[in-house]
Structure 1
Amino acid sequence: MAPLAALAALRGGSRRGSGPLYNLLGRAAVAGAPRAGALAIWDTKTAAAGEPSASRWLSTSLPALSVALKPVTPEEQEKLSHIRNIGISAHIDSGKTTTTERILFYTGRIKEIHEVRGKDGVGAKMDSMELEREKGITIQSAATYCRWKDTRINIIDTPGHVDFTIEVERALRVLDGAVLLLCGVGGVQSQSITVDRQMRRYQVPIGLEEFHEGVVDLVERRAFRFKGKAGLEIEEGPVPEELKGEVEARRAELIERVSEVDDELAELFLSEQPVGPGQLAAAIRRATIGNKFQPVFMGSAFKNKGVQLLLDGVSAYLPCPTEVNNTALDTSRDEAAVTVPCSPSGPFVGLAFKLEEGKYGQLTYMRVYSGTVKKGDFVVNSSNGRRVRVPRLVRVHSDELEDIAAASAGDIVALFGIECASGDTFTDGSVSLAMTSIRVPDPVMSVALTPKSTDQLPNFQRALARFQREDPTFTASNPNPRPPPPLQRACVVDCDVGRPKVNYRETVRRRAEFNYLHKKQSGGSGQFARVIGYIEPLPEDDSGAQSAPKFEFSNELVGNNIPPEFQPACEKGFKEAANAGALIGAPVEGVRVTLTDGAAHAVDSNELAFRLAAIGGFRAAYADAHPTVLEPIMKVEVTVPVEFQGTVMGDLNRRKGLILDSSQQQEDAILQALVPLAGMFGYSTSLRSNTQGKGEYAMEYSHHAPVTKDLQEELVVGHAKARATK
């Protein structure tokens, strides 16, 4: 029975805690060079998927230049060939932490298996936060390391909930491989259709659901059964007689599929020569690292079946650090893209991809891309040029730390006592390189947070500063800080949390001119400045979003009517005016300000006068430029059983959503829609109510678009009342 058919038969399986479908992407393509390779495992009985993560694979096409960096020596290659850096990510409740717990057990890193939200009160090793163990979900990515046979594996367990997408983004940025877990009960999610096309036929289960005993390896033509306590006893033997026909048919199809993406295997296939296990495994590895193929395994982590074969697959098919291309920017050559060889003897280059405040101070997670760093070394922060000392170097095992003397290329470690921000690059000072940054979307929602007592204000301020360093998605401003969920627990601050607020924007719809004179005389030197020009909207793309920068200043002055020393003050004034529009006080985006002329006074003109004149000129023209309020529009994907499709579509329409597409996958309807963020508050509860708890959705920011006329009037009136009460 093909896995997809088995999937349809598994819907009655356990709804929580079972082993997942794994898809190990050989390199995560997140804000860097395209990643390579993939490995997948199909589960025969798995947990139901929750809300899918809105994260997505990203890639860039920067042309890498050859630079004089030290190449990897044969000795270094041999050592690095036994290292794998992988991450585990998936939808919420798909078994990421359950899988990691088994990996740590089978590799000897932990002595007992504890379940997520287990009855023993201990909880999984990788969920070390109190809030994680209370909620039974992963909130922040956690790192660990283990050894399987002769391979050292660094692992990052990432959250699955859509609210913690950035944790996935920044973890995948530094990994060579990623484990994507998909739900067998709920079916392959719509965003995984591409992967699903290649995961249908590459391993055979021995039994399904409660009768699941093991799997058959099509490469080796061997059957594996998992018995004894926690599946520690692996019984290997020949393929059962009743499965031999299906196994041979599947193996022939596997060879055919791999030959489509591997020339060496294609020659054997076309000449109808027999393909041995070694030849097939080598072809699968080449195709996996080339990101052309995803081998599939079956297993059930919760039932302790197949995890050891997963570890074998990590070693056999996923790339080591030298088999991927890491791209950096050479800041000494106009940020030209360069390839950094993973050489331990090369110049030191490391990326701080995650910060965490611990009981001993700030813990900085770092991926070492080149060279070696030792305890006591001095390193240079490329973002600010500061030279700092490394006082302590550790390997991380969830909430446990192991001191080490040095770390070299290919390692993922942590440093203590270094002040930096997430995304900073460190070098030994001999090169001017910066690793490409992590993609961080702009925030579209905020909440008001106020300490309940003034004596908690110092802790509150320290908490805000801490989270701004740790979390690139976190921004704080007065009066609208937007804290992450663990704020109150982590910093011992009792807070009043206001209603969520939508981050509206303003823009203009037509060109308007200004000719503004700022003049002030009150004895002595006065202020005099005149600015002349116009403001206009920037071009929009098909979605209605601006395709150009949010704000653009164009200096078209001819002559010296505005002296050159005052022109930067004009630009500064226009930008300052754009920070708050006249309608609701929201930032003005998608606007270009063009300065064409002006006038100055020999005595009374100065930088302040021209800055104030620019502010006045912008505001004067803004009223005539048909200003409008923009609201964030979210791209929403809803997966529901077909019988609830009409009800859900009606609910989206009531929320002013625009249905873009509707398709069917097996028994589910997949709806794609654009919905204003303001209409998505409380949607999770509504969806569960409308679908008897069977629906799920994911959303991500799409663009800002004009609000309706009645909503704009409501927002303008509300803003005016709020200003009047201050």
Structure 2
Amino acid sequence: ELEGDLREEADLYRQNLIETVAEFDDEALEVWMECGDLSRDLLNRAIRKGVLAGKIFPAYSGSSLHNKGVQLVIDGVVDFLPSPLDSPEVRGHIPESEKELIRHVQKDKSLCALAFKTATDQHGELTYVRVYTGKLKSSSGVFNPRVGRMERITRIFRMFSNDRDPVDSAGPGEIVTVIGFKKTVTGDTLCEKQDPIQLESMQFPEPVVSVAIEPKTSADRDKLEEVLQRLAKDDPTFRVTSDIETGQTLIHAMGELHAEILLHRITQEFRVPASTGEPRVAYRESLNMTTRGDEESQIKVGEKTLFGHVVVELRKNPKSVTPSYREELDPVLAKELKPYLPSIKEGLLSAAGSGPIAGYPMVYLDVVLVGGSVSPDSDERAYSMSAATAVRKAYGGGKPALLEPHMQFEVTVPEQFMGDVINDLNSR
């Protein structure tokens, strides 16, 4: 019970609420004009009409982590949001066509349902399904237009937290879980094969938080990989990638809490001991000036001597994200070297792929073949080795540098904070 100033402030906000929502319900408006107040039922009815009209958007504060305000949100869903019968139609299209299809909730008997979530527990894989029209029946088949095949429904359950209530069927508006699907994933439409429909596909935002993860023992590596793939299948907003440069396995989530929940499931639910950390920085290397390398090789193989001679020039090019190759040769020399050019190119780019400081990938670099020579003992292997050695020789004269990642971003702030934000950015 509120007291004092808080009660007065709450009463003021209540009157503002009543004044706003009364215009959506004639009876509520009349009662408010006569009595200056509304009963809870009448107030909820007026709010609901405003929500259904798209004019009111209730906002709640709370925290599911601390179980604060959750019950009020659930009550609001029941009191204000539309029931399936309030949504007169469902729009989709013919599979592999753009022709629109409309299904009416109360009129159409043909099945139209959406698999909006998959989950894996100790009993196997569950698919959460929302039925729009028709009926979903246990021990029957449904058609998945995305994969173009029938899926078998083994059992249907109505879920109550972790408890399951088996049911024989589910109708419009019902949300149930299904066991038995093999190919169905989040966002798939379920329908009848003789009357197919494809609902609009679900769009998922890109993850914003990345965490490096590895098993605590090598024996758990395969198990961790299996668990990560299973979680990624259940949650489309969760991604798993492997950084080729750093060798790390990275998990990408929608926020810190999302990542913490996933890590808790990995270690507690699936019992895979794992360590986490920040992703390693992917450095790059480059040269600050043009440089040249000249290498002539004479390799002894048995009684035979293999010859190769390459002259390369390394030039800085800010537009070249990866080392690019080209030739600037005298026409006569180009003709003589033609049989060996593929081997020369391979050797040059292979050596130019990693930098001289710490072996990070090279960027902003043009690799230009500018000279060389041939002899009766010329050999592809020798030219490839000469090319690689010429690049490594050239590195020393190019003033190599280690490059750190940089990013471009836009900051939008209220005008009164502009100076403080600019000063903060400049100090970094």
Measured against the shorter chain, the TM-score band is 0.5 to 0.7
Q: Could you report, residue by residue, the CA deviation over 1:277-317 in whole angstroms, capped at 9, with x for unpaired residues?
A: 68766544322211323679999x99999979985x66554
| Displacement after TM superposition at 1:414 (Å) | 0.8
Equivalent residue in structure 1 for 2:164, among 401, 418, 427? 401
Q: Secondary structure at the match of 2:275?
A: strand
Structure 1 partner of 2:126: 363
Compared CA separation, residues 200 and 424, structure 1 to 2 (3 A): farther
Compared CA separation, residues 381 and 662, structure 1 to 2 (3 A): farther
Compared CA separation, residues 521 and 460, structure 1 to 2 (3 A): farther
| Whole-Å separation in 1 of the counterparts to 2:68 and 2:325 | 75
Q: Secondary structure at the match of 2:190?
A: strand
Tell whether 2:85 aligns with 1:322: yes
Letter in 2 for 1:475: R
Structure 2 partner of 1:455: 219
Equivalent residue in structure 2 for 1:489, among 268, 281, 284? 268
Equivalent residue in structure 1 for 2:414, among 661, 683, 695? 661
Tell whether 2:138 aligns with 1:375: yes
| Displacement after TM superposition at 1:390 (Å) | 0.8
Letter in 2 for 1:660: V
Compared CA separation, residues 501 and 335, structure 1 to 2 (3 A): farther
Equivalent residue in structure 2 for 1:432, among 197, 210, 213? 197
Letter in 1 for 2:238: F
Q: Secondary structure at the match of 1:287?
A: helix
CA contact (8 A) 1:449 1:482 kept: yes
CA contact (8 A) 2:118 2:128 kept: yes
Compared CA separation, residues 391 and 339, structure 1 to 2 (3 A): same
Compared CA separation, residues 330 and 294, structure 1 to 2 (3 A): closer
Aligned pairs for 1:89-104 (under 5 A) are none
Compared CA separation, residues 336 and 490, structure 1 to 2 (3 A): farther
Q: Secondary structure at the match of 2:205?
A: coil
Q: Could you report, residue by residue, the CA deviation over 1:184-220 in whole angstroms, capped at 9, with x for unpaired residues?
A: xxxxxxxxxxxxxxx9623xxxxxxxxxxxxxxxxxx
Q: Secondary structure at the match of 1:482?
A: strand
| Whole-Å separation in 2 of the counterparts to 1:324 and 1:273 | 34
| Whole-Å separation in 1 of the counterparts to 2:230 and 2:49 | 44
CA contact (8 A) 1:329 1:335 kept: no
| Displacement after TM superposition at 1:344 (Å) | 8.1
Q: Could you report, residue by residue, the CA deviation over 1:124-160 in whole angstroms, capped at 9, with x for unpaired residues?
A: xxxxxxxxxxxxxxxxxxxxxxxxxxxxxxxxxxxxx
Tell whether 2:216 aligns with 1:471: no
Q: Could you report, residue by residue, the CA deviation over 1:69-104 in whole angstroms, capped at 9, with x for unpaired residues?
A: xxxxxxxxxxxxxxxxxxxxxxxxxxxxxxxxxxxx
| Displacement after TM superposition at 1:471 (Å) | 1.6
Equivalent residue in structure 2 for 1:411, among 149, 174, 184? 174
CA contact (8 A) 1:351 1:366 kept: yes
Compared CA separation, residues 316 and 422, structure 1 to 2 (3 A): closer
Compared CA separation, residues 456 and 338, structure 1 to 2 (3 A): same
| Displacement after TM superposition at 1:453 (Å) | 3.1
Q: Which runs of 5+ in 2 are unaligned?
A: 252-261, 285-316, 328-334, 343-352, 364-402
Compared CA separation, residues 349 and 310, structure 1 to 2 (3 A): closer
Compared CA separation, residues 476 and 266, structure 1 to 2 (3 A): closer
* Superposition TM-score, scaled by structure 2 size: 0.54
Q: Secondary structure at the match of 1:353?
A: strand
Q: Could you report, residue by residue, the CA deviation over 1:102-124 in whole angstroms, capped at 9, with x for unpaired residues?
A: xxxxxxxxxxxxxxxxxxxxxxx
CA contact (8 A) 1:446 1:503 kept: no
Q: Could you report, residue by residue, the CA deviation over 1:206-260 in whole angstroms, capped at 9, with x for unpaired residues?
A: xxxxxxxxxxxxxxxxxxxxxxxxxxxxxxxxxxxxxxxxxxxx3xx55542344
Aligned pairs for 1:240-319 (under 5 A) are 250=15, 256-260=19-23, 262=24, 264=26, 282-293=45-56, 311=75, 316-319=79-82
Compared CA separation, residues 467 and 3, structure 1 to 2 (3 A): farther
| Whole-Å separation in 2 of the counterparts to 1:439 and 1:200 | 40
Letter in 2 for 1:293: I
Structure 2 partner of 1:650: none
Q: Secondary structure at the match of 2:186?
A: coil
| Whole-Å separation in 1 of the counterparts to 2:77 and 2:45 | 14
Compared CA separation, residues 672 and 432, structure 1 to 2 (3 A): farther
Compared CA separation, residues 504 and 336, structure 1 to 2 (3 A): farther
| Displacement after TM superposition at 1:480 (Å) | 3.5
Q: Secondary structure at the match of 2:55?
A: coil
| Whole-Å separation in 2 of the counterparts to 1:281 and 1:389 | 42
CA contact (8 A) 1:377 1:390 kept: yes
Q: Secondary structure at the match of 2:407?
A: strand
| Whole-Å separation in 1 of the counterparts to 2:95 and 2:141 | 21
Q: Which runs of 5+ in 1 are unaligned?
A: 10-41, 43-198, 203-249, 528-579, 588-626, 636-657, 664-668, 680-707, 712-726
| Displacement after TM superposition at 1:331 (Å) | 4.8
Structure 2 partner of 1:6: 6
Compared CA separation, residues 333 and 415, structure 1 to 2 (3 A): closer
Q: Secondary structure at the match of 1:376?
A: coil
Structure 2 partner of 1:201: 13
Equivalent residue in structure 2 for 1:631, among 399, 407, 411? 407
Q: Secondary structure at the match of 1:6?
A: helix
Compared CA separation, residues 631 and 472, structure 1 to 2 (3 A): farther
CA contact (8 A) 2:25 2:49 kept: no
More contact order relative to length (CA 8 Å, sep ≥ 6): 1
Compared CA separation, residues 660 and 386, structure 1 to 2 (3 A): same
Aligned pairs for 1:217-228 (under 5 A) are none
CA contact (8 A) 2:116 2:129 kept: yes
| Displacement after TM superposition at 1:400 (Å) | 1.3
| Displacement after TM superposition at 1:349 (Å) | 2.2
Letter in 2 for 1:347: S
Compared CA separation, residues 294 and 515, structure 1 to 2 (3 A): closer
CA contact (8 A) 2:95 2:145 kept: no
Rg (Cα) greater in structure: 2
| Displacement after TM superposition at 1:379 (Å) | 1.7
Task: Tell me the C-alpha RMSD between the 2 structures.
Answer: 5.6
| Whole-Å separation in 1 of the counterparts to 2:29 and 2:215 | 70
Tell whether 2:389 aligns with 1:389: no
Q: Could you report, residue by residue, the CA deviation over 1:384-427 in whole angstroms, capped at 9, with x for unpaired residues?
A: 22321011111111111111111112011111232333222222
CA contact (8 A) 1:382 1:434 kept: no
| Displacement after TM superposition at 1:330 (Å) | 1.4
Compared CA separation, residues 661 and 362, structure 1 to 2 (3 A): same
Compared CA separation, residues 661 and 388, structure 1 to 2 (3 A): same
CA contact (8 A) 1:446 1:502 kept: no
Q: Secondary structure at the match of 2:269?
A: helix
How many residues are paired up?
310
Letter in 2 for 1:6: L
CA contact (8 A) 2:101 2:197 kept: no
Compared CA separation, residues 291 and 416, structure 1 to 2 (3 A): same
| Whole-Å separation in 2 of the counterparts to 1:516 and 1:417 | 57
Structure 1 partner of 2:399: none
Instruction: Name the structure with the higher helix share.
Output: 2
Equivalent residue in structure 1 for 2:116, among 331, 334, 353? 353
Q: Secondary structure at the match of 2:278?
A: strand
| Displacement after TM superposition at 1:343 (Å) | 4.0
| Whole-Å separation in 2 of the counterparts to 1:310 and 1:427 | 30
Compared CA separation, residues 294 and 510, structure 1 to 2 (3 A): same
| Whole-Å separation in 1 of the counterparts to 2:170 and 2:362 | 47
Structure 2 partner of 1:648: none
CA contact (8 A) 1:348 1:370 kept: yes
CA contact (8 A) 2:112 2:134 kept: yes
